Amino acid sequence: MSNSPDADNSALEIWGQHSLSGNVTISGAKNSALVVMAGVLLCSQPCRLRNVPNLVDVERMGAVLKALGVKVKRDQDFLELDPSDISHTRAPYDIVSKLRASFFVIGPLLARMGVARIPLPGGCAIGARPVELHVRGLQAMGADVQIEHGTVHACIPGIRGRLKGAKIYLDYPSVGATETLMMAATLADGETVIDNAAQEPEVADLANFCRAMGARIRGVGTKTLTISGVPSLHSTDYAIVPDRIEAGTFLIAGAITHSEISLSPVVPEHLGAVIAKLREAGSDVVSESHNRIKLIPGDEILPTNIQTLPYPGFPTDMQAQFMALMTLSSGNSMVTETVFENRLRHVAEFGRMGANIRVTGNCAVIQGVPMLSGAPVMATDLRASAALVLAGLGAQGKTIMSGIHHLDRGYEQLERKLTQIGAHITRLEGADAQAAVEIDGAAATVQQRQV
Ligand code: UD1
């Protein structure tokens, strides 16, 4: 693992207002890698994945697959997965409870083995996150699905039965439900149509991976996916797409520090909404080649409203980072979160740095301030942790961010990549981290009392 083994006892020390410059290498997409790893279960031959980011979440998905009997071998950004001998059909609770995406093994496991027992993932910091769309879709394909004692028990009735193709309409274009049902349908008997499917690039990446294994899927990247089931899938070698959320996070790092930075490899079309909103906020993003873009910062950060939506709308996974930028804008902005019900917890932490934000329901009204000041802050979830790093880069003085186990779940060496382009960030471990949090926390309390 590239990041700290004990991130619970670590903290990041960030010195703000340093200019950045240079090129950042963007890793493979976390959300693609996780679901493509689950998708390997559909095949009974070894598969090789390339451009797999080295992340705690990826390690956890590897552990779930190992528990099912998959042989997992990692070599730099390659992952060799051999699912020839699946020995178990029950995923371990202790890992599923830490990694919601591991629930997504239910579709491929059921389709290939005829049975799957997966603990309910439960809620998480950003909301309740139910799975009824996954369950209803599998039932429509003929699976018998019961939820008992917190575990989803799914099986295909009959001996050596196959799921059956079905017409499925999703009430909401859920990314996970689309992925679960698309994977299940690849091995079903007959044709499955998923209407109101999620169009996220990671869903398309999974579809392309399944096609590389011989699956027959039409409508990739659209709202209607048509999957003609095949009896079996074969081995493949597949490269994960670049992470659009990591790329978006770095674009904001450039905008908030008024720095010109380049990013590659990226798929610029995957960043459409983020680039449009960055332009509204006064920066520009230009193409340097087919897979390389450059952020050109504006003199002023302009107030900009965003509303999170399913793709191609503005991604909920970029909401906190964009809000960090808006805290320093020259006016009032509104951020409306429509995808998850509890995803504004970072607001209180921005407040500690001097941001002026008022929350009503799922809306945050941000009155831009001329300056943020470094402070001790606590990351509340994965994207909030990245947003606090960004705020720290734009703030005057020192920010100490704890809770960096969230960051390590989904960003491959964020602080190293930022340091390489000029940021002043250090990872403090153990006693050093503890001391920094305590000293800075005490200083902040004194300052607050004096105000
Ligand atoms: C995926 C991403 C996550 C991203 C999210 C939305 C992965 C591993 N994670 O999560 O980073 O923030 O898409 O882009 O790919 N819902 C239901 N019932 C269901 C399923 C979902 O009500 O059965 C609701 C959820 O509670 C949420 C909304 O639908 O409010 C969106 O969730 P979904 O698109 O399923 O997100 P995930 O696949 O969990």
30 lines ligand 1 (CB under 6 A): no
Domain 30-239: give its CATH code: 3.65.10.10
Mean pLDDT confidence for 436-444? 63
Confirm if 37 and 47 have CB atoms less than 8 A apart.
no
Beta bridge partners of 14: 399, 425
Q: Which residues contact 132 (CB under 8 A, 6 or more apart)?
A: none
- CA 117, 131, 55, 39 dihedral sign is positive
Provide the pLDDT for residue 446. Answer: 45
Q: In the structure encoding, which two tokens stand for residue 318, read together? A: 């970029």
pLDDT, tens digit, for every residue of 309-349?
Answer: 999 999 999 999 999 999 999 999 999 999 998 889 899 99
169 lines ligand 1 (CB under 6 A): no
> Which of 110, 221, 99, 97 is closest to 161 using CA atoms?
110
Q: Where are the domains of the chain?
A: 7-27+242-450, 30-239
pLDDT, tens digit, for every residue of 273-297?
Answer: 999 999 999 999 999 999 999 999 9
Q: In the structure encoding, which two tokens stand for residue 351, read together? A: 């407040």
DSSP-derived pairing of the beta strands 363-367 and 376-378: unpaired
- Say how many Å lie between the CA of residue 176 and the centre of ligand 1: 6
Rounded CA separation 167/290 (Å): 38
- Say how many Å lie between the CA of residue 226 and the centre of ligand 1: 21
102, 124, 136, 175, best to mutate for ligand 1 pocket (most atoms within 8 Å of CB):
175
Q: In the structure encoding, which two tokens stand for residue 203, read together? A: 């869903």
Rounded CA separation 375/399 (Å): 5
pLDDT of residue 183 exceeding 50: yes
Q: Which residues contact 371 (CB under 8 A, 6 or more apart)?
A: 328, 354, 395, 396
Query: Please, what is the angle between helix 244-256 and helix 319-326, to 10°?
Result: 10
Round the average pLDDT of the chain to a whole number and report it. 93
The residue with greater pLDDT, 440 or 337, is 337
Q: Which atom of ligand 1 is nearest to the CA of 200?
A: 14
Q: Which atom of ligand 1 is nearest to the CA of 128?
A: 26
Q: Whose CA is nearest to atom 36 of ligand 1?
A: 175
Provide the pLDDT for residue 444. Answer: 54
31 lines ligand 1 (CB under 6 A): yes
Provide the pLDDT for residue 100. Answer: 87
Is 85 buried (19+), middle (13-18) or exposed (0-12) by CB count in 10 A?
exposed
As a whole-number percent, the residues of the chain with pLDDT over 90 amount to 85
pLDDT, tens digit, for every residue of 92-118?
Answer: 999 888 898 999 999 999 999 999 999
pLDDT, tens digit, for every residue of 161-180?
Answer: 899 999 999 999 999 999 99
Rounded CA separation 129/92 (Å): 19
As a whole-number percent, the residues of the chain with pLDDT over 70 amount to 93
Q: Whose CA is nearest to atom 28 of ligand 1?
A: 339
- The reply to whether CATH 3.30.565.10 applies to domain 7-27+242-450 is no
Provide the pLDDT for residue 314. Answer: 98
7-27+242-450 against 30-239: fold identical: yes
- Say how many Å lie between the CA of residue 160 and the centre of ligand 1: 32
pLDDT of residue 450 exceeding 80: no
Provide the pLDDT for residue 282. Answer: 98
Confirm if 57 and 409 have CB atoms less than 8 A apart.
yes
Q: Which atom of ligand 1 is nearest to the CA of 198?
A: 34
| CA distances for 207 relative to 70, 143, 213, 217, 398, angstroms | 21, 22, 10, 7, 44
Provide the pLDDT for residue 182. Answer: 98
101 lines ligand 1 (CB under 6 A): yes
pLDDT, tens digit, for every residue of 389-408?
Answer: 999 999 999 999 999 999 99
Mean pLDDT confidence for 62-68? 96
Q: Which atom of ligand 1 is nearest to the CA of 339?
A: 30
Provide the pLDDT for residue 449. Answer: 41
- Say how many Å lie between the CA of residue 93 and the centre of ligand 1: 20
pLDDT of residue 432 exceeding 90: no
- 68-77, 92-101, 190-199: least confidently modelled range: 92-101
Query: Please, what is the angle between helix 56-68 and helix 30-39, to 10°?
Result: 10
Q: Which atom of ligand 1 is nearest to the CA of 136?
A: 23
pLDDT, tens digit, for every residue of 341-393?
Answer: 888 989 999 999 999 999 999 999 999 999 999 999 999 899 999 999 999 99
Q: In the structure encoding, which two tokens stand for residue 231, read together? A: 């009896």
Beta bridge partners of 41: none
118 lines ligand 1 (CB under 6 A): no
339 lines ligand 1 (CB under 6 A): yes
Provide the pLDDT for residue 385. Answer: 96
Q: Whose CA is nearest to atom 32 of ligand 1?
A: 174
Question: Which amino acid makes up residue 120?
Answer: L
pLDDT of residue 246 exceeding 50: yes
- Say how many Å lie between the CA of residue 340 and the centre of ligand 1: 8
104 lines ligand 1 (CB under 6 A): no
Provide the pLDDT for residue 9. Answer: 79
318 lines ligand 1 (CB under 6 A): no
Please list the active-site residues: 124
| The Cα angle at residue 34 between residues 168 and 317, in degrees rounded to 5 | 80
Mean pLDDT confidence for 135-159? 93
Length of the chain: 451
pLDDT of residue 196 exceeding 60: yes
Model pTM? 0.95
Q: Whose CA is nearest to atom 25 of ligand 1?
A: 129
- Say how many Å lie between the CA of residue 120 and the centre of ligand 1: 14
